[in-house]
């Protein structure tokens, strides 16, 4: 079966750095997405990785290792507005998105 694992909840302090991990086992791989979802809102795109390595975009970076079936989202200089759920999703061999359950990130002052 297909499986995406990410922690259910994480807590971090404003101004700090947090890393949200995602491991996956899917039938084929055509890229991995990270989305941010605030409560009561639809998900918004953060990043897309299809090759191994680190992609940096401002305060957010995303890393991928295809051989390990592993990705992480790194958030720097955390702000209160970063409190949200972070969803990891993998594009499988049928080009369908397989979603993780999401990681709820709580930022404390």
Partner 1 sequence: GAVVSQHPSWVICKSGTSVKIECRSLDFQATTMFWYRQFPKQSLMLMATSNEGSKATYEQGVEKDKFLINHASLTLSTLTVTSAHPEDSSFYICSARSETGTSYEQYFGPGTRLTVT
Contacting residues toward partner 1, per CB under 8 A: 30-31, 33, 40-45, 48, 50, 87, 91, 95-97, 99-102
Q: How far is the CB of 63 from partner 1 (least distance, A)?
A: 17
Q: How far is the CB of 90 from partner 1 (least distance, A)?
A: 11
Q: How far apart are CA 45 and CA 54, in angstroms?
A: 17
Q: How far is the CB of 15 from partner 1 (least distance, A)?
A: 27
Q: How far apart are CA 95 and CA 60, in angstroms?
A: 25
Contact 58, 74 (CB under 8 A): no
Q: How far apart are CA 5 and CA 41, in angstroms?
A: 22
């Amino acid at each position: 079966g297909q499986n995406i694992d990410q922690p259910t909840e994480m807590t971090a302090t404003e101004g700090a750095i947090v890393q949200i991990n995602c491991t996956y086992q899917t039938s084929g791989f055509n890229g991995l997405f990270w989305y941010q979802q605030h409560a009561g809102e639809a998900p918004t795109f953060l990043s897309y990785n299809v090759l191994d390595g680190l992609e940096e975009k401002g305060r957010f970076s995303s890393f991928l290792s295809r051989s390990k079936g592993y990705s992480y989202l790194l958030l720097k200089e955390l702000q209160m507005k970063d409190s949200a759920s972070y969803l990891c999703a993998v594009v499988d061999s049928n080009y369908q998105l397989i979603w993780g359950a999401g990681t709820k990130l709580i930022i404390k002052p």
